[in-house]
């Protein structure tokens, strides 16, 4: 494991980088084989925040390839088994070195920019409207705020102050913004969907990132460790990381009150930073896979997705799907 430690705020000692090998094993052999079986898996790639190497893909599939979707250019590992195939197995592994991301000392004055250049990140999604009650709330939160950074910070603070993590939520949550405004409890996709919809309604380009957390032990089962985080675009500076969902998760897990000093540290840290215990896998909402899946676009592509004919397997139940994901230092 590669891990350098850095003191980011008083009392918070985090690794500056984290690395390990992540292995996904999929076995669809017990599923019906009365039609073709198709599997799509988010495929991580290297960028300025992470290095992906030692990729290995094995299995008894009929065909396999790496594609991208046309809207967000998210890489997709695709595999197919023909009708009647008895054994349907695939193993996918990669090594990741992930960096802590910190963006501080943000400029207080916006540079000149053209919203048309960020149209994709200023438009509504099926579950994330930016008109009606969402627009009304965004206007209320950002009243008197003049710049992109001021508006985004006001929305971040509102989310941290008014939402909460609900451990009963299935998976990472659906991110149904209107339902969440009525009952503001959920998990990471829920919390960041609200942040992004409010940002976009306020004219702030924003997007979510879907991935999975790395472990902190030598060997960890991370099958259910999917995570979603967010960022907004600050003209003249670039994309700024935020993770209000992790602030609220820390609050729940560590039994913190909003007045506690430790809560305030987390709140400060995750405005402009991401810890390194994560791996980016995909971006975007309302995703049309490639090759195209049967049925409507996916709400998001944060989990493996499989269909037998036109029937979709429940990706929220890995034991029935069947898949496991393991992290090793």
Residues 321 and 29: their CA atoms lie apart, in Å, by 10
| Per-residue three-class SS string for 266-283 | HHHHCECEECCCEEEEEE
pLDDT digits (tens, 9 = 90+) for 90-143: 999 999 999 999 999 899 889 999 999 999 999 999 999 999 999 999 999 999
Region 301-326: mean pLDDT is 97
User: Is 80 exceeded by the pLDDT of residue 6?
Assistant: no
Cβ count near 218 (within 10 Å): 10
Q: Phi/psi at 148 (nearest 5 deg)?
A: -60, -45
Region 171-181: mean pLDDT is 98
The answer to whether 3 and 99 have CB atoms below 8 angstroms apart is no
| Exposure b/e, 245-282, CB count within 10 A at least 16 = b | bbbbbbbeeeebeeeeebbebbbebbbbbbbbbbbbbb
Any idea which residue has 């995570």 for tokens? 227
DSSP 8-state class, residue 104: -
Structural domains of the chain, with CATH: 5-100+290-328 (2.60.40), 104-280 (3.10.620.30)
DSSP 8-state class, residue 44: -
Q: How confident is the model at residue 5 (pLDDT cuts 50, 70, 90)?
A: very low
């Amino acid at each position: 494991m590669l891990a350098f430690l850095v003191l980011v705020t008083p009392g918070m000692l985090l690794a500056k980088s984290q690395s390990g090998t992540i292995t996904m094993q999929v076995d669809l052999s017990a599923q019906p084989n009365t039609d073709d079986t198709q599997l799509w898996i988010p495929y991580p790639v290297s960028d300025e925040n992470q290095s992906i190497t030692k990729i290995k893909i094995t299995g008894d599939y009929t065909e396999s390839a790496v594609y991208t979707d046309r809207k967000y250019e998210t890489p997709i590992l695709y595999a197919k088994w023909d009708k009647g195939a008895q054994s349907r197995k695939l193993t996918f592994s990669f090594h990741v070195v992930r960096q802590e991301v910190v963006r501080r000392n943000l400029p207080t004055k916006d540079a000149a920019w053209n919203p048309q250049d960020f149209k994709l990140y200023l438009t509504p999604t099926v579950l994330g409207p930016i008109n009606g009650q969402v627009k009304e709330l965004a206007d209320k939160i950002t009243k008197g705020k003049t710049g992109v950074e001021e508006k985004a910070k006001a929305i971040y603070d509102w989310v941290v102050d008014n939402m909460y993590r609900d451990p009963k939520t299935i998976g990472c949550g659906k991110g149904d913004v209107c339902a969440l405004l009525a009952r503001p409890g959920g998990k990471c996709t829920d919390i960041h969907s609200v942040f992004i919809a409010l940002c976009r309604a306020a004219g702030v380009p924003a997007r979510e990132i879907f991935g999975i957390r790395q472990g902190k032990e030598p060997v960890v089962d991370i099958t259910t460790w999917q995570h979603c985080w967010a960022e907004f675009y600050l003209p003249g500076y670039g994309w700024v990381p935020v993770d209000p969902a992790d602030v609220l998760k820390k609050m729940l897990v560590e039994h913190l009150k909003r007045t506690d000093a430790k809560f305030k540290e987390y709140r400060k840290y995750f405005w402009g930073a991401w810890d390194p215990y994560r791996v980016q896998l995909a971006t975007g909402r309302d995703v049309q896979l490639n090759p195209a899946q049967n049925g409507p676009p996916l709400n998001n592509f944060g989990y493996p997705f499989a269909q037998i004919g036109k029937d979709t397997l429940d990706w929220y139940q890995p034991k029935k799907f069947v898949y496991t994901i393991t992290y090793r230092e």
